[in-house]
Amino acid sequence: MTATQIQSPRSGKDGNGRPGAGLIAPKYRRSGASKGNFEMAAWLFMRLSGVVLVVLIFGHLFVNLLVGEGIHAIDFGFVAGKWADPFWQFWDLAMLWLAMLHGTNGVRTIINDYAEKDSTRFWLKIVLYAATAVIIILGTLVIFTFNPCPLDVNGIPLPGGFCPAA
Amino acid sequence: MPTKPAGTLYRGREGMWSWVGHRITGVVIFFFLLVHVLDTSLVRVSPEAYTAVIGAYKNPLMALGETGLVAAIVFHAFNGLRIIAVDFWKKGAKYQRQMLWTVLVLWVIVMVGFSIRHLSLALGGH
């Protein structure tokens, strides 16, 4: 019987994915962390936001897909009806921010796990953070600048909008 | 030839597979979320643009896709609560296996209910 070969841990590879350099493992110390408490705060955030997101997303799916006509009721008027109420504006805003930050931190963890080269990790995370910033800013602006009666360039109401009777 | 490592408490067991499932469903949900914020943003373009794009979610093939997406969300949600219990409940680690089977049973129950309701609405006459 051959002895089981035990591979050196991936964390022992150097920043370019070459094994044996032992960049991380020998330097690892529980004390004197240089990153402060960021990783612990991120760990806690995943759990706290996760609980809140279960409530927000289950509520979102129930109201949008299971009540009344379900998905067939969703159109511009449906969105206008919901965002006329600050309750649903705040609901969707909280869902947007928490879900994006929760998802971004999850993907950040996956990038750290699988991308072995320092430069690959760096650029993947740059792309991730840029996408996150765009989506959060865009979504927030959409919720707060929503107009149930949008006008065209000539000031004529666009078809399908909900305008007060003149 | 190296022999296959003997089973461990983790490798190839419930703990590992729930971790794999949590990662895969998490990535799927994240990419849908990016698309979903973009499609919703069309309400700022015009009512007709939004209603046209949201119309794409209403065909039978997409109804199956939505059911798959909700299946991913419900698993991620219930398994996430299990992870919290493993981390914060004194007996969490001891009962993690039983909690995974509880997650799967609840997941099946919720998904049977959701699928019946959503598919009958989405595929029903309109």
Gap between the Cα atoms of B9 and B15, Å rounded: 8
Q: Report yes or no: B82 and B17 within 8 Å, Cβ to Cβ.
A: no
Which pLDDT tens digits describe chain A residue by residue (166 residues)? 556 676 655 554 555 555 555 455 555 566 655 667 899 999 999 999 999 999 999 999 999 999 988 898 899 999 999 999 999 999 999 999 999 999 999 999 999 999 999 999 999 999 999 999 999 999 999 999 998 888 888 888 888 888 876 5
Q: For B50-79, write each residue's pLDDT tens digit.
A: 999 998 888 889 999 999 999 999 999 999
Question: A11-14 contacts: CB < 8 A, separation 24 or more?
Answer: A13/A116
Which candidate from B26, B44, B84 shows the least CB-CB separation from A146?
B44
Which candidate from B48, B58, B80 shows the least CB-CB separation from A72?
B58
Q: For B76-85, write each residue's pLDDT tens digit.
A: 999 999 999 9
Residues in chain B with CB shorter than 8 Å from the CB of A75 are 47, 50-51, 54
* Contacts A–B by Cβ distance under 8 A: 120
Q: Which residue of B has its CA nearest to A106?
A: B26
Q: Which residue of B has its CA nearest to A51?
A: B81
B98 has pLDDT over 90: yes
Report how far apart, in Å, the C-alpha atoms of B112 and of each of B4, B11, B54, B88, B100 are.
39, 31, 25, 30, 18
| pLDDT confidence band for B9 (50 / 70 / 90) | confident
Q: Report yes or no: B93 and B42 within 8 Å, Cβ to Cβ.
A: no
Q: Residue A24 has what pLDDT?
A: 54
Chain-chain contact of A76 with B43 (C-beta, under 8 angstroms): yes
Neighbours of A23 (CB within 10 A): 15
Whether residue A96 lies within 8 A of chain B, CB to CB, comes out as yes
ipTM of the complex: 0.90
Q: Residue A23 has what pLDDT?
A: 53
Confidence (pTM): 0.84
Residue A65: name the closest of B74, B53, B122, B78 by CA.
B122
Q: Which residue of A has its CA nearest to B125?
A: A72
Which candidate from A1, A66, A79 shows the least CB-CB separation from B43?
A79
Q: Residue A36 has what pLDDT?
A: 72
